[in-house]
Amino acid sequence: MAELKERLRSDLTTAMKARDEVRVATLRMALSAINTEEVAGESHRELTDDEVVTVLGRESKKRRESAEAFDGAGRTELAERERAEQAVLTDYLPAQLSDEELTSLVAAAIDETGAEGPRQMGQVMKVVQPRVAGRADGRRVSGEVKRQLSS
């Protein structure tokens, strides 16, 4: 069984004992998303830690986008709830890349692919994405690739 999934389960038990409602709801949602991913497809399978991180990253992104939408609609209390859930999920995700680290990874990928302009953005993204997996938002990565290829 994935070590991260087991950690989520034990943290859920701890949160239930502490009566931490936000953490309990968030961890239940995360475990539910993981279980849904495990039974998707033709047969049941156990997710690896990397796959669990991918699912948690996807859920974190949903929370961030929901918070932005609620802010835009003037629903600040719901936006705060989404941000609190995202903060809980962030505890289980790998540390995000700094701007300098992302810049150097993108520069290395551009050198590796020999890309010279925005038209080769797809080639660079194919090289960069596996290297940043879960440590940087796709929007941030594509923005940096576009910036470096345009200059």
pLDDT truncated to tens, each residue of the chain (151 aa)? 579 999 999 999 999 999 999 999 999 999 999 999 999 888 889 988 888 988 998 999 899 999 999 999 999 999 999 999 999 999 998 888 888 999 999 999 988 888 888 888 888 899 998 888 778 888 889 999 899 888 7
pLDDT score recorded for residue 24: 96
pLDDT score recorded for residue 1: 59
Q: What is the pLDDT of residues 97-115, one digit of tens each?
A: 888 999 999 999 988 888 8
Q: Tally the C-alpha atoms within 13 A of residue 10's C-alpha that lie toward its C-beta.
A: 7
Distance in angstroms (rounded) separating the CA atoms of residues 57 and 136: 10
pLDDT score recorded for residue 17: 96
115 within 8 A of 123, measured Cβ to Cβ: yes
Distance in angstroms (rounded) separating the CA atoms of residues 121 and 59: 27
Distance in angstroms (rounded) separating the CA atoms of residues 146 and 118: 6
Instruction: Tell me the pTM.
Output: 0.78
